[in-house]
Amino acid sequence: MSSSSFLSANGQSKATTLNARASDDFAAKLAETQALLQRAAAEFSPVTQASSLGAEDVVITHLINSLKLDIPVFVLETGALHTETLALLERTEATSRAPINVYRPVHESVIQFVRHQGQDAMYKSIELRKECCGIRKMEPLARALQGQRAWITGLRQEQSSARADVPLQDDSEVATKNLSKFNPLAKWTWGDVWHYIATNNVDYNPLHDQFFPSVGCAPCTRAISLGEEFRAGRWWWEDEAAKECGLHVKK
């Protein structure tokens, strides 16, 4: 998707105004998503939603709350999130019907990494960046998913070429981990996401108003410019093929 939809003539318009464009079949997509979430709650308990507090994830949390589903939400508070993301986390904790569980990295592991590699180690090599992701994201993720039968993510097919074949339900890890993954927005467009946010007045990360379509850790996320791809602001100094932290990479 072209990043031109993020930019207005004066650069001041909000993300909802710029991006809220529902697909012709949005109603059918929404019904499919609602049915999938209801089935996940009914048939795959315990199930949890993984939220980065990005646009897709706030939509899913809103749907979970609206449908009054027994699906708690977890957030990986990596210790390197933007101030705007942390503020949204507080507001979400204060208003969500669904429980919001926050997982943080092992503090000593972070300190040791910074002590030996430096606070900007992620820029030095892909290996060090992935080691940082391992400490701040992957280890807390393992704790968050312990004992779960399924988890729910905001992955969409439109996000990148690596995600173009994301299914609504991914059972590829059932045999090894007894864990299914649901991607209820897999078929949604960016316009669909923002149409839902605008229509339902969903609270979202204000970084999206500053041309951050994808929001992660502060050192590893930047705004995108006209003509750049959707996830160009993530790990922008790396080769395109390396741009995953490991949360959604199949081994």
- DSSP letters, 186-245, are TT--HHHHHHHHHHHT----GGGGGT-SS--BGGGB----TT--TTTTBSTTS-GGG---
> What's the structural domain count of the chain?
1
Dist CA 137 CA 134 (whole Å): 6
- Do the annotations mark residue 220 as ligand-binding? yes
Contacts of 76 (CB under 8 A, 6+ apart): 50, 52, 103, 104, 136, 137, 140, 141, 144
Q: Of the candidates 69, 66, 102, which has an alpha carbon nearest to the alpha carbon of residue 86? A: 102
Is 130 a member of any domain?
Answer: yes
Is 163 a member of any domain?
Answer: yes
Q: Is the pLDDT of residue 6 over 50?
A: no
Angle at 208 between CA 204 and CA 212, to 5 degrees: 140
Is 126 a member of any domain?
Answer: yes
Is 188 a member of any domain?
Answer: yes
106 residue type, one letter: V
- Do the annotations mark residue 132 as ligand-binding? yes
Which tokens sit at 29?
Answer: 């997509």
pTM of the model: 0.88
Is 86 a member of any domain?
Answer: yes
> 30, 53, 69, 245: which is the annotated catalytic residue?
245
Mean local confidence (pLDDT), 190-218: 94
Q: What is the pLDDT of residue 160?
A: 65
| Contact in structure between 214 and 230 (CB atoms under 8 Å) | yes
- Do the annotations mark residue 99 as ligand-binding? no
Dist CA 80 CA 187 (whole Å): 30
Using DSSP bridges, classify how beta strands 169-170 and 180-182 pair: parallel, antiparallel or unpaired.
antiparallel
249: confidence class by pLDDT, cuts 50, 70, 90: very low
CATH number of the domain encompassing residue 128: 3.40.50.620
The residue segments making up the domain with residue 102 are 24-207
- Do the annotations mark residue 122 as ligand-binding? no
Is 215 a member of any domain?
Answer: no
Q: Establish whether 56 is a catalytic residue.
A: no
Q: Which residues of 103-121 are buried (b: 16+ CB within 10 A; e: fewer)?
A: bebeeeebeebeeeeeeeb
Is 88 a member of any domain?
Answer: yes
9: confidence class by pLDDT, cuts 50, 70, 90: very low
Contacts of 120 (CB under 8 A, 6+ apart): 219
Is 36 a member of any domain?
Answer: yes
**In the predicted model, what is the mean pLDDT of the chain?**
89
164 vs 239, which has greater pLDDT?
Answer: 164
